[in-house]
C-alpha cells in the first residue's frame, strides 16, 4: 500500500488522473461534468488551481 503524504501549504503540485490500463476516464460528456462537480466540492474550497485541461487519450494519438 502507498504511503499517504500530506499536501503542504504554499507548495505547488501537478495532479492528474489516469484510467486503469490506460483506459479513458472521460468516455462521454457526463463524465467530464461529474468530475468537475467533484472538483468543485472537494478541491476548490481548499486549493488554488492555476490551470486544468480535460483531455481524452484519443487526443494524444
> What pTM value is reported for the model?
0.63
Q: What is the pLDDT of residue 15?
A: 78
Q: Residue 61 pLDDT > 60, yes or no?
A: no
Contact between residue 25 and residue 31 where contact means Cβ atoms under 8 Å apart: yes
Rounded Cα distance between 48 and 26, Å, is 23
Q: Higher model confidence: residue 19 or residue 1? A: 19
Give per-residue pLDDT as tens, 2-58.
788 888 888 888 877 778 887 878 888 888 889 899 999 988 988 888 888 877 655
Q: What is the pLDDT of residue 54?
A: 77
Amino acid at each position: 500500500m502507498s504511503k499517504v503524504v500530506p499536501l503542504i501549504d504554499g507548495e505547488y503540485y501537478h495532479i492528474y488522473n489516469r484510467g486503469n490500463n490506460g483506459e479513458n476516464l472521460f468516455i462521454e460528456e457526463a463524465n467530464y461534468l461529474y468530475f468537475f462537480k467533484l472538483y468543485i466540492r472537494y478541491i476548490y474550497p481548499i486549493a488554488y488551481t492555476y490551470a486544468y485541461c480535460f483531455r481524452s487519450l484519443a487526443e494524444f494519438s
